[in-house]
Amino acid sequence: MTLEVRDLRVEFPTRRGTLTALDGVSFSIAPGEVLGVVGESGAGKSITGLAIIGLLEPPGRISAGEVRLEGRRIDNLPPEEMRKLRGRRIGVIFQDPLTSLNPLYTIGRQLLGEVGIPAPAARYGHYPHQFSGGMRQRVVIALALAAEPRLLIADEPTTALDVSIQAQIIALLKRLAADRSAAVMLITHDMGVIAETAHRVAVMYAGRIVEVGSVRDVIHAPKHPYTVGLMGSIPRIAAKRSRLVRVPSALRSAVRALFRRASGPDGSGRQPRRLLAACRCLSWSA
Amino acid sequence: MPLLKLERVSRDFDVSPPWLNRVLDHEPRRILRAVDQVSLDIDKGETVGLVGESGCGKSTVARLIVGLYAPTEGRIEYCGRRLQMIFQDPYASLNPRWRVHDIVAEPIRFLGTPQKVEELLRQVGLSPDDGEKYPHEFSGGQRQRISIARALAGEPDFLVCDEPTSALDVSVQAQILNLMSDLQRRLGLTYLFISHNLAVVSQVADRVGVMYLGRIVELAPAAQLFSRPRHPYTRMLLDAVPDLGMSGRPRTPVRGEVPNPLAPPSGCTFHPRCPHANERCRREVPAFIDGVACHAVLEGRI
Give the per-residue pLDDT at B210: 95
A245-254, B11-20, B174-183, B204-213: segment of lowest average pLDDT: A245-254
User: How distant is the Cα of B203 from the closest Cα of chain A, in angstroms?
Assistant: 6
Output A50 or A159, whichever has higher pLDDT. Answer: A50
> Which residue of chain A has the CA closest to B134?
A273
Predicted ipTM? Answer: 0.70
Q: Are A2 and A151 in contact (CB under 8 A)?
A: yes
In chain A, the percentage of residues whose pLDDT exceeds 90 is 19
Residue A84, in any domain of the structure = yes
pTM above 0.80, yes or no: no
The span from the CA of B175 to the CA of B190, in Å, is 19
Q: Find residue A38's DSSP bridge partners.
A: A203
**Among chain B residues, CA nearest to A218:** B244
Set of chain A residues whose Cβ sits within 8 Å of the Cβ of B177: 235, 244
Question: A162, B196: Cβ pair inside 8 Å?
Answer: yes
Whether A255 is in a domain gets the answer: yes
Distance CA B166, CA A160 (A): 11
> Which of A237, A242, A271, A273 best tests the B interface by mutation, with the highest count of B CBs <10 A?
A237
Query: Once rounded to an integer, what is the mean pLDDT over residues A203-228?
Result: 88
Is pLDDT of A56 > 60? yes
For residue A110, being part of any structural domain is answered with no
Domain coordinates in residue numbering, chain B = 4-227
Residue B50 C-alpha, separation from nearest chain A C-alpha, in angstroms: 15
> How far is it, in rounded angstroms, from Cα B264 to Cα B237?
19
- For B243, the closest chain A residue by CA position comes to A192
Question: Is A129 within the bounds of a domain?
Answer: no
Identify whether A116 is part of a domain: no
> Out of B178, B202, B237, whose CB is closest to A244?
B178
pLDDT tens figures, A103-149: 666 666 555 555 656 666 666 667 777 766 667 777 777 777 777 78
Tell which of B54, B163, B170 to mutate to test the A interface (max A CBs under 10 Å): B170
When mean pLDDT is compared over A136-140, A153-157, A270-274, the highest value belongs to: A153-157
Cβ-based contacts of A160 with chain B (< 8 Å): none
For residue B286, cis peptide bond before it (omega within 30 degrees of 0)? no
Which H or E run contains B8? strand B4-14
Whether B242 and A245 lie within 8 Å, measured CB to CB:
no
Categorize the per-residue pLDDT at A228 as very low, low, confident or very high, splitting at 50, 70 and 90: confident
pLDDT digits (tens, 9 = 90+) for B239-266: 888 777 655 555 666 677 778 788 889 9
- Pairing relationship of beta strands B190-194 and B207-212 according to DSSP bridges: unpaired
Amino acid at B76: I
Q: Which residue of A has its CA nearest to B248?
A: A196
CB contact under 8 A, A164 and B241: no
Closest-CA distance of chain B to residue A51, Å: 23
Are the CB atoms for B241 and A163 separated by under 8 Å?
yes
Q: Which residues of B touch A191 (CB under 8 A)?
A: 170, 244
A107, part of any domain: no
Lowest mean pLDDT across A149-158, A259-268, B182-191, B280-289? A259-268
Using H for helix, E for strand and C for coil, what is the string for B78-131?
ECCCCEEEECCCCCCCCCCCCCHHHHHHHHHCCCCCHHHHHHHHHHCCCCHHHH
The pLDDT tens digits of the residues spanning A159-177 come to 767 777 787 778 878 887 8
The total number of structural domains that make up chain A: 1
Segment among A55-59, A115-119, B40-44 with least mean pLDDT: A115-119
Contact B85, B144 (CB under 8 A): no
CB within 8 Å: A273 and B137: yes
Q: Does domain B4-227 have CATH number 3.50.50.100?
A: no
Name the band, by pLDDT with cuts 50, 70 and 90, for residue B230: very high
For residue A277, give how far its alpha carbon lies from the nearest alpha carbon of chain B (Å): 8
Q: What is the pLDDT of residue A280?
A: 41
Residues of chain B neighbouring A244 (CB-CB closer than 8 A) = 173-174, 177-178, 203
Q: Greater confidence, B286 or A148?
A: B286
Chain A residues lying within 8 Å of B223, measured CB to CB:
240
Min CA distance, B198 vs chain A (Å)? 7
Using an 8 Å CB-CB cutoff, list residues of chain B that contact chain A.
53-54, 136-137, 139-141, 169-175, 177-178, 196-200, 202-203, 222-223, 226, 236-246, 251, 253-254, 257-258
Which chain B residues are within 8 Å of A252, Cβ to Cβ? 139
Residue A44: CATH number of its domain: 3.40.50.300
Q: Do A164 and B198 touch (CB under 8 A)?
A: no
Tell me if residue B295 falls in helix, strand or coil. Answer: helix
Instruction: Identify the domain containing residue A15 by its residue range.
Output: 3-27+34-89+150-163+185-281
Whether B246 and A195 have beta carbons less than 8 Å apart is answered as yes
CB spacing of A236 vs B244 below 8 angstroms: yes
User: Does the beta-carbon distance from B244 to A230 stay under 8 Å?
Assistant: no
Residues of chain A in contact with residue B88, where contact means CB-CB under 8 angstroms, are none
Inter-chain contact B171–A246, Cβ cutoff 8 Å?
yes
B174–A235 C-beta distance less than 8 A = yes
> Does A243 contact B178 at a Cβ distance shorter than 8 Å?
yes
Cβ–Cβ under 8 Å, residues A195 and A16: no
Q: Over B228-274, what HEC string results?
A: CCCCHHHHHHHHHCCCCCCCCCCCCCCCCCCCCCCCCCCCCCCHHHC
Q: What is the pLDDT of residue A118?
A: 60
How far apart, in whole angstroms, are the C-alpha atoms of residue A139 and residue A109? 10
**A135 part of a folded domain:** no
Read out DSSP for B119-173? Answer: HHHHHTT--GGGGGS-GGGS-HHHHHHHHHHHHHHT--SEEEEESTTTTS-HHHH
- The confidence band for A282, taking pLDDT boundaries of 50, 70 and 90, is very low
Closest partner CB to A195 (pick from B175, B236, B244): B244
Nearest-CA distance from B77 to chain A in Å? 32
- CA distances A218 to A22, A174, B244, Å, are 22, 20, 11
